[in-house]
């Protein structure tokens, strides 16, 4: 099993004056510790309710990822996950392609149908009904695959029309940056994973039985569309708090054992006190190698 780190908040002591320095330190330490991937949320407001009030600091995802690319050498980088309504598809593909080229081939495209209506309305982004958001998500996935294939013939969809879908330079990742589709919706989201995705992302806190059920649904969709289920990386998302009142390294290893036993291959998590750096160093010393063989 691999471990990934998600940075979800930027309101640590001393911010915003030390935001860049602290974020670079987090990224560098996670890279050196052996984390497989590094993610930020694609939001403009902080999640409320959830992590903090909407007015808490939030960085634009692809600017932050590009910044972290310069502080790292090996770790993969992505947004967990981009809301499909926040960018035109070709612009999003260009952003991910640029990140991939500048990072030496380490970008992922994390994407979903969007859910944070307050944020969209607050900042004037379109927020159509959910059925349309899924239509836009599928067209965006089609556009990404076409642009990354080098096929410059016009794209004509219900919601998007591209007269010249040219993408240069193309990503270094081959055949293209891995596409992670976030969410566990059984009728639409997991079908899109089976049809277009390289990875799924499910909520670890839903419990092992529920995560296993979602994986079984995904496998059924793979069977329906003729996709090899083994081609799709199965990831889960959660929160880990090390220290008093939280988890020990042994607890985290045990939790990873449970996820691995039902087929999860990468556990991606946020750490509330990540800015202290020490939790990353502990996980690097005591956990990453211990779960690598799972």
8-state DSSP, 85: G
Query: Does residue 162 sit in helix, strand or coil?
Result: strand
pLDDT band at residue 48, thresholds of 50, 70 and 90? confident
State in Å, rounded, how far the first CA of the chain is from the last one.
Answer: 5
8 Å CB contact between 31 and 64:
no
Write down the pTM of the prediction.
0.96
Position 272 pLDDT exceeds 90: yes
Q: What is the pLDDT of residue 169?
A: 98
Query: Does residue 153 sit in helix, strand or coil?
Result: coil
8 Å CB contact between 193 and 134:
no
> Of 228, 242, 294, 231, whose CA–CA distance to 270 is shortest?
242
For 152-210, write each residue's pLDDT tens digit.
999 999 999 999 999 999 999 999 999 999 999 999 999 999 999 999 999 999 999 99
User: Distance between alpha carbon 178 and the CA centroid of its chain, in Å?
Assistant: 10
Q: What is the pLDDT of residue 140?
A: 98
Using DSSP bridges, classify how beta strands 2-7 and 37-40 pair: parallel, antiparallel or unpaired: parallel
Q: What domains can you pick out in the chain, each with its CATH number?
A: 1-80+240-294 (3.40.1280), 81-182 (no CATH)
For 81-90, write each residue's pLDDT tens digit.
999 999 999 9
Query: Does residue 29 sit in helix, strand or coil?
Result: helix
- Give the span between the Cα atoms of 161 and 10, in whole angstroms: 37
């Amino acid at each position: 099993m691999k471990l990934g780190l998600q940075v979800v908040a930027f309101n640590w002591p001393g911010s915003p004056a030390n935001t860049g320095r602290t974020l670079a330190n987090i990224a560098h330490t996670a890279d050196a510790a052996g984390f497989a991937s590094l993610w930020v949320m694609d939001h403009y407001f902080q999640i409320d309710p959830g992590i903090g009030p909407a007015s808490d600091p939030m960085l634009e995802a692809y600017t932050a990822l590009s910044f972290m690319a310069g502080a790292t050498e090996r770790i993969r980088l992505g947004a967990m996950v981009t809301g499909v309504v926040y960018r035109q598809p070709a612009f999003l593909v260009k952003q991910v392609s640029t990140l991939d080229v500048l990072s030496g081939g380490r970008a992922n495209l994390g994407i979903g149908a969007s859910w944070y209506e307050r944020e969209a309305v607050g900042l004037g982004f379109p927020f159509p009904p959910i059925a349309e958001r899924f239509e836009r998500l599928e067209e965006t996935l089609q556009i990404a695959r076409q642009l990354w294939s080098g096929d410059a013939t016009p794209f004509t969809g219900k919601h998007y029309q591209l007269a010249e879908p040219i993408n240069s330079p193309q990503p270094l990742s081959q055949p293209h940056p891995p596409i992670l589709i976030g969410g566990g919706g059984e009728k639409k989201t997991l079908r899109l994973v089976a049809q277009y995705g390289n990875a799924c992302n499910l909520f670890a806190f839903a419990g092992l039985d529920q995560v296993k059920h979602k994986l079984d649904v995904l496998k059924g969709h793979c069977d329906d569309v003729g996709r090899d289920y083994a081609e799709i990386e199965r990831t889960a998302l959660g929160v880990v708090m090390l220290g008093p009142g939280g988890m020990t390294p042994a607890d985290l290893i045990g939790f990873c054992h449970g996820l691995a036993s039902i087929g999860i291959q990468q556990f991606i998590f946020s750490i509330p006190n990540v800015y202290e750096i020490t939790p990353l160093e502990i996980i690097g010393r005591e956990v990453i190698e211990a779960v690598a063989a799972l």
